[in-house]
Amino acid sequence: MTVSVWIAVVIALVALAAGGFAGYMYRMNVQEKKIGRTEEYARNLLDDAQRRAEEKKKESILEAKEEVIRLKNELDREIRDRRAEVQRSERRVAQREETLDKKADNLDARETALERKQGELDKLTQEQAELNARQRAATEEIEKAAGELDEKQRVELERVAKMTQDEARDMIVERIQREAYHDAGVMVREIEQNARDEAEKKARNIVAMAIQRCASDHVAETTVSVVSLPNEDMKGRIIGREGRNIRTLETATGVDLIIDDTPEAVIVSAFDPVRREIARLALEKLIADGRIHPARIEEMVEKARREVDNQIRETGEQAIFETNMHGIHHELVKLLGRMRYRTSYGQNVLRHSIEVSHLAGLMAAELGADVQLAKRAGLLHDLGKAVDHEMEGTHVELGVEMAKRYHESPEVIHCIAAHHNDVEPQTIEAVLVQAADAISAARPGARRESIENYIRRLEKLEEIASSFQGVEKSFAIQSGREVRIMVKPEDISDEGTVVLAREIAKRIENELEYPGQIKVNVIRETRCTEFAK
């Protein structure tokens, strides 16, 4: 390699080194400028932060001073209140001390007075003891003299009366016994009459409740429905495989299906008439449809239940329209509709209630009473019979409860409560509802009793009453619910009427069959006639 080449290389290296140094110096200068700007920016941020911190510090100090002032004011106010309370307490304590001082002075004065009175009492006690001793001595002398006088009087009385003391005592005892027997008979008669009245009231409720709720044989015709079948094969389809269809229908409706040897007929038995009607409609729909299986049965039962609900509502609305009553709660309208399926001794309760409403309204119009109130109470008086199969209580109690629940007036509620004398009637409308109820229920034919049997029972009642000795006349009244007996006063005493009434009642119970109860009313009357000449 030549010298010129080496020189060129050295020059290049020197130039390269100089360029690198110049570049390095330039970068250092630029970086120093950036660092300066950054430091200036940081100093500005720091100054701003310090300024804000000073402002925040001043605000916090100001707020703290305000809070201290507020707390101080509250503390001062509380101290003033406590100081006032302490002053009041001190005044009360001072007053109590003054009161106690006065009471102590009064007690001292009373003790002094009591001591003085005790001394006077001791003195009086001593004087009373001496007086009692003198009185005992005087009494002994008087008793001795009285004994001697009584003995003389007894001897004189025995001489005048010509009987001994024992004979007089026996005569008095005998007379007292006769009077006591008479008084006892009168008392027994009064007690029995009160007991009979109370028993009659309670028995009416018990018998009515039992008859309404007990599905016994004498009401069997009102607890079954007969569904006709197109053929005998339908019985097997109703029963289903292993009895699943009949079990489903009985479970869904709550009735008993009786499938026996009766040709082309199935009997639906249930004491609840609404459930029996639902089952009858569902069974008729199933027979007409022909498809009988558990799912179809449940569907038809639901349809029948909706249909019966509609019929109940429509029937209630028809009863409202027929009696021209308005403003009755829709739930009460449904209960009226349910009464269409309720019977009492074979009498339809809804028709009976409508009839009572009309009768009560007519009588109220004649007497100048409230016609609308009488008709409304007559329509709703047996409302409890719509639910007495499902709820506890008599139909009167349930009717009152339903009327109260659906905001009927107190006058209507009183008429419902009093129509069987559960409470004493206080208004003329309540008495009219009672009378209308008795007229509707007691008229011949209202309760499935033929006119021949009705007349025969009345004649038998009078025959039984007239067969007893001492009976002058007997009358069966109130459609056979009461027999009134006139007795001969010279043959039967007042006490004997009680025995006679009991014997007649027992014989009626043994020889007659009748719904409800029969009142035996024995009457004894004494008439004295004299002529002035």
Q: Residue 264's pLDDT is what?
A: 78
* Percent of the residues in the chain that have a pLDDT greater than 90, as a whole number: 1
Separation of CA 48 from chain center: 83
Q: What are phi and psi of 432, to 5 degrees?
A: -65, -40
Flag whether pLDDT at 419 surpasses 80.
yes
Distance, in Å, from the CA atom of 492 to the CA atom of 128, rounded to the nearest integer, reads 63
Q: What is the rounded distance in angstroms from the CA atom of residue 402 to the CA atom of residue 335?
A: 9
What is the pairing mode between strands 519-524 and 482-487?
Answer: parallel
Nearest to 335 by CA among 391, 281, 279, 282: 391
Cβ-based neighbours of 25, under 8 Å, separated by 6 or more: none
Residue 1: the pLDDT is: 52
What pLDDT is attached to residue 446?
53
Other beta carbons within 10 Å of 442: 14
CB 353 within 8 A of CB 359: no
- Express each pLDDT in 249-280 by its tens digit: 888 887 888 887 777 788 887 767 778 888 88
What is the reported pLDDT for 210? 33
Comparing 36-50, 152-166, 458-472, the range with the smallest average pLDDT is 152-166
Query: pLDDT-derived band of residue 449, with 50, 70 and 90 as boundaries?
Result: very low
pLDDT at residue 213 above 50?
Answer: no
Q: What is the pLDDT of residue 345?
A: 64
CA dihedral over 152, 155, 161, 167, signed as positive or negative: positive
Is pLDDT above 80 for 355? Answer: yes
Residues 230 and 215: beta-carbon distance below 8 Å? no
Candidate from 331-335, 469-473, 524-528 with smallest mean pLDDT: 524-528
Q: pLDDT at position 221, please?
A: 39
E strands in 119-231: 224-228
Question: What are the two backbone dihedrals, phi and then psi, of residue 171, each rounded to the nearest 5 degrees?
Answer: -65, -40
Give which of 493, 444, 406, 529 is closest to 185, Cα–Cα.
Answer: 493
Band of pLDDT at residue 292, cut at 50, 70 and 90: confident
CA distance 319 to 356: 12
What's the pLDDT score for residue 136? 83
User: What is the DSSP annotation of 29-63?
Assistant: HHHHHHHHHHHHHHHHHHHHHHHHHHHHHHHHHHH
Count of CA atoms in the C-beta half-sphere (13 A) of 340: 20
> Locate tokens 């001795």: which residue?
144
The average confidence (pLDDT) of the chain is 79
Predicted local confidence at residue 8, as pLDDT: 76
pLDDT of 387 over the 50 cut: yes
C-alpha span between 18 and 480 (Å, rounded): 150
CA distance 443 to 220: 23
Grade residue 347 by pLDDT with cuts at 50, 70 and 90. confident
Query: What pLDDT shows up at residue 209?
Result: 39
List, for residues 38-96, the tens digit of each pLDDT value. Answer: 878 878 888 888 888 888 888 888 888 888 898 888 888 889 888 888 898 888 888 88
What's the mean pLDDT in 323-341? 84
Which residue is associated with the tokens 């109820």? 437
Asked whether 343 and 448 are in contact (CB, 8 A), the reply is no
Residue 195: strand, helix, or coil:
helix
Quick: pLDDT tens for 295-325.
Answer: 888 888 888 888 888 888 888 888 888 888 8
pLDDT > 70: what percent of the chain?
A: 86
Residue 88 — φ and ψ, nearest 5°?
-65, -40
Can you tell me the distance from the alpha carbon of 399 to that of 356, in angstroms, rounded to the nearest whole number? 16
Mean pLDDT calculated for residue range 100-111: 86
Please give the Cα distance from 258 to 269 (Å, whole number). Answer: 7
Q: What is the mean pLDDT of residues 28-34?
A: 74
More confident residue, 174 or 332: 332
- Given this model, what pLDDT does residue 234 score? 82
- Write the pLDDT tens digit of every residue in 484-530: 888 888 888 888 888 888 889 888 888 887 766 788 888 887 766 67
The residue with greater pLDDT, 527 or 137, is 137
Where is average pLDDT lowest: 284-293, 368-377, 401-410, 523-532?
523-532
Mean pLDDT of 443-471: 72
- pLDDT grade for 217, boundaries at 50, 70 and 90: very low
CA distances from 304 to 207, 239, 471 (A): 34, 20, 60
CA distance 218 to 517: 16
Question: What pLDDT score was predicted for residue 453?
Answer: 64
